[in-house]
Amino acid sequence: MTRVWLSEWEWACCGDAFAVGDEVDLRVATRTPDPSLAELLGSALIATVDAVESHHEEELTDRVHGRVTAVHAVTHEVEERQSLRRPGHGAPPDAVMPPEGEDWPMVRRELGGGVFAGSRPSRYVVEIVPRPGTATLEPARGVGLTSQAVEATPQPESDSISGASGERRARLLAGWLVDIDDT
């Protein structure tokens, strides 16, 4: 049996869904997980990982092929911190800070006929910071199946940006640990 780590961001982009019992052929980026994955999973879980999958690298020749015997969704806690956007910190260095209570100016492109496309940055920059030691495993039917998406569990948030009141915690899907019976 080989346990393979699959990153949520890669599979959200372009991975094909599969379920327990399916045959898979996964490309392996490394057999030695990097320190950031060890920090996410913790020492006990990282010790069980035999390979790290990637399907964005062109020249991968190492593969794991076999039948999927189990899938575990790995979730972890993050803190979302809001801080006021100011010139040089999330806004262009030459930007002029709008007065309190006003939004940043809209960046727009005229499309003609009175129609435009535009966007306006938020007054706040949101930083998402993983909380070490919070990874948990949840049994899953497969990878990339839309019916089992893990939703964030937000905590109450405040409009204030000072102290802890401008923070919230959420539990997010980080990836999957997939057990494969090698063939």
Q: What is the pLDDT of residues 104-149, one digit of tens each?
A: 677 778 888 888 887 766 667 788 888 988 999 999 999 988 655 4
Query: Is 11 in the same domain as 68?
Result: yes
Query: Is 20 in the same domain as 66?
Result: yes
Instruction: With a cut of 50, say whether residue 10 has pLDDT above it.
Output: yes
Judge whether 62 lies within some domain.
yes
Residue % of the chain over a pLDDT of 90 = 46
Distances (CA, A) of 75 to 16, 40, 66, 116, 146: 20, 10, 25, 40, 16
Mean pLDDT of the chain: 82
Judge whether 42 lies within some domain.
yes
Give the whole-angstrom CA distance, residue 30 versus residue 77. Answer: 26
Instruction: With a cut of 50, say whether residue 151 has pLDDT above it.
Output: no
CB 23 within 8 A of CB 70: no
CB 74 within 8 A of CB 176: yes
Neighbouring CB atoms inside 10 A of 146's CB total 6
Judge whether 125 lies within some domain.
no
Domain that residue 95 falls in: 86-119
